[in-house]
Structure 1
Amino acid sequence: MKVSVLLSAYNAEDFIEKAIKSILEQSYNNLELIVINDGSTDGTLSIINKFNDPRLVLINRENKGLTKSLNEAIDIATGEYICRQDADDYSYKNRIETQLEFLTVTGSDLVFCQAYDGLNAMPKRHMLNKKITARQLIFGNVLTHGTVFGKALIFKENRYDEDWKFGQDYELWLRLLKLGFCMNWSEDELYFLKKHENSISVLNASKQEELAINAIRKNGYNDLFFIRKHDGLVSTFFKKILKRFILFIET
């Protein structure tokens, strides 16, 4: 089974080489790595061009943003499965092999794994059950976008919503759950998440929160329990207790 890995890069010269290597050196070899250089103005393109591997498919064009780039990569993907990789992170050597086996064994449509940022594992084990439900996610998105692995047909028939410049993954996960797709999470640590001051999550935190709430509403869920950054201690504590209760009854 062929796996298509989607990687969009914008001014990622400090990280892109390690990200690409982590995919091309996977223990699972039947893959293609679709790299979209999304209008980078630094040395990103020259670093990508150093790689001489027939499995690497490079699209070099003007900047369109992450959401459009991912949809473009989905359109040209030829694998039976799709895997994400962010340009500033890297995957462990056995990631694809492990996730493919996990998806097969669990009968899932999409699977996620645990990420590590050098200090913390994400999500923490008490934040998510192995079977993911919308009731768990409406408190907030605890899934690392780059860790998703799933059936290509699902992505091709349910593309990222291009109205979501940020948080496009959260909107898609809620939509797929609403449609009845099976999503599972594994505690296997297979992905390293690089946190830095120029990352999307840092630079656009407030906009991401706004779009996350819009994603909940768009898909017919209640945003009352979404944990907002400005929530007081009492409100946050209550929401976290309620989430743990939901996780407990869904176990």
Structure 2
Amino acid sequence: MSPRVTVLMPVHNGAAHLLPAIRSVLGQTFADLELLVVDDGSTDRTTEILASVPDPRLRVLHLSRSGIVAALNTGLDAARGRLLARMDADDLADPGRLARQVAFLDRHPGMVACGTDYELFGAGAGRVRMPRTPTQCRARLLFGTCIAHSSALLRLAVLHDTRTRYRTEYTYAEDYKLFSELSRLGDLANLPFVGLRYRVDGAQTSTTAATRQRRVATRIMRENLAAAGVAGVPEQIAAGMIWPAGHGPAAAVRYAWRYAPKLIGTGARAGGLAGVGTATRLVRERLNTVLRQPAGAGTGHEACHDE
């Protein structure tokens, strides 16, 4: 009998934190699940750790090194559940996360996906509050992803019926592109609880490939703005609205004078009142980030989510 939920966890050389992540999934209060781990050519102890887990709900697929997008799409094709939950191999899921998300999707058949707030740990700290309603999520997608990928629960049938997949050409921001496409197929939302503890360290994509990630995210942002009727935003301006340069009072003044009005104006033109609200929150968060963090100290979250 097929499980209700497939939890998809790609991993490449994730031995350092893999076992706690697995335990946080298999220890969910919602037990009707399979944990599908796609091992993307690991060369550390990942294979050994996976073999040591006795729970029959764990299923492992082994790939030669193919990259995150290929690993995710392999998992989509192999998933047996009706719902697909995402989980990264170094994060921790709250024990009640899936139960609450499944119940929410059961009550809201028009929802194609939902996420939760999350809490940073490791080299970062603090709760990240995500946009709640479908209207807020659509407004947030004008400037960045609206669901934390590792907290997502999606209707797998929607992905299969529409042949929606992660796209290689958007690697480093493939989740932002996926949720942008899903928002055209139904509603997205986030539940108001911390369903995920997100590990922050220096080996993550948001740290090691920040320049490439921002370039791809800026491309998606400009595409989303164009689809909302605001075409032709220069790449440098779009990036500057979301990623302020420098730190300290002078950098804050420079951002407030040059980019903040553009961000709010763009939000108004593309998203109306919801766009203004989202842009205003982003301006406040960017100014706080510039004032409180030394250069290079960002985790990448200030670029993607409502904090």
Fold conserved (TM > 0.5)? yes
| Aligned residue identity for 2:143 | F
Choose which of 147, 150, 160 in structure 2 pairs with 1:143: 147
Q: 1:239 Cα deviation (Å)?
A: 5.6
- 1:57-136 maps to which residues of 2 (within 5 A)? 57-107=59-109, 108-118=111-121, 119-123=125-129, 128-131=131-134, 132-136=136-140
Residue of structure 2 in register with 1:173 after alignment: 179
Decide whether the 8 Å contact of 1:122 with 1:142 is kept in 2. no
Residue of structure 1 in register with 2:53 after alignment: 51
Residue of structure 2 in register with 1:152 after alignment: 156
Q: 1:238 Cα deviation (Å)?
A: 3.1
Where structure 1 has 5 or more consecutive residues not aligned to the other structure, the ranges are none
Decide whether the 8 Å contact of 1:123 with 1:142 is kept in 2. no
Q: 1:181 Cα deviation (Å)?
A: 1.3
CA distance in 2, matches of 1:25, 1:121: 22
Q: Which moved more, 1:236-245 or 1:60-69?
A: 236-245
Is the helix fraction higher in 1 or 2? 2
1:238 maps onto 2:261 in alignment: yes
CA distance in 2, matches of 1:85, 1:236: 34
Say which SS state the counterpart of residue 170 (structure 2) adopts: coil
Structure number with higher relative contact order (C-alpha < 8 Å, ≥ 6 residues apart): 1
| Aligned residue identity for 1:7 | M
Cα RMSD (Å): 2.3
CA distance in 2, matches of 1:233, 1:22: 41
CA distance in 1, matches of 2:218, 2:189: 23
Q: 1:52 Cα deviation (Å)?
A: 1.1
CA distance in 2, matches of 1:148, 1:206: 25
Say which SS state the counterpart of residue 104 (structure 2) adopts: helix
Say which SS state the counterpart of residue 193 (structure 1) adopts: strand
- 1:26-41 maps to which residues of 2 (within 5 A)? 26-41=28-43
Q: 1:24 Cα deviation (Å)?
A: 0.8
Q: Give the % identical residues.
A: 23
1:228 maps onto 2:242 in alignment: yes
CA distance in 2, matches of 1:142, 1:236: 21
Choose which of 177, 188, 194 in structure 2 pairs with 1:189: 194
Say which SS state the counterpart of residue 169 (structure 2) adopts: coil
Residue of structure 1 in register with 2:250 after alignment: none
Residue of structure 2 in register with 1:215 after alignment: 220
CA distance in 1, matches of 2:276, 2:194: 23
| Aligned residue identity for 1:174 | S
Specify the structure having the higher radius of gyration (Cα). 2
Choose which of 14, 17, 33 in structure 2 pairs with 1:15: 17
CA distance in 2, matches of 1:229, 1:196: 20
Deviations 1:136-161 (A, max 9, x none): 22222353210110111122231111
TM-score, reference length from structure 2? 0.73
CA distance in 1, matches of 2:137, 2:30: 29
CA distance in 1, matches of 2:196, 2:186: 23
CA distance in 2, matches of 1:165, 1:136: 20
Decide whether the 8 Å contact of 1:109 with 1:182 is kept in 2. yes
TM-score, reference length from structure 1? 0.89
Where structure 2 has 5 or more consecutive residues not aligned to the other structure, the ranges are 246-253, 279-307
Which structure 1 residue ranges, 4+ long, deviate > 6 Å from structure 2?
none
1:206 maps onto 2:234 in alignment: no
| Aligned residue identity for 2:157 | L
| Aligned residue identity for 2:193 | D
Q: 1:55 Cα deviation (Å)?
A: 1.0
Give the number of equivalent residue pairs: 246
Decide whether the 8 Å contact of 2:120 with 2:198 is kept in 1. yes
CA distance in 1, matches of 2:43, 2:19: 16
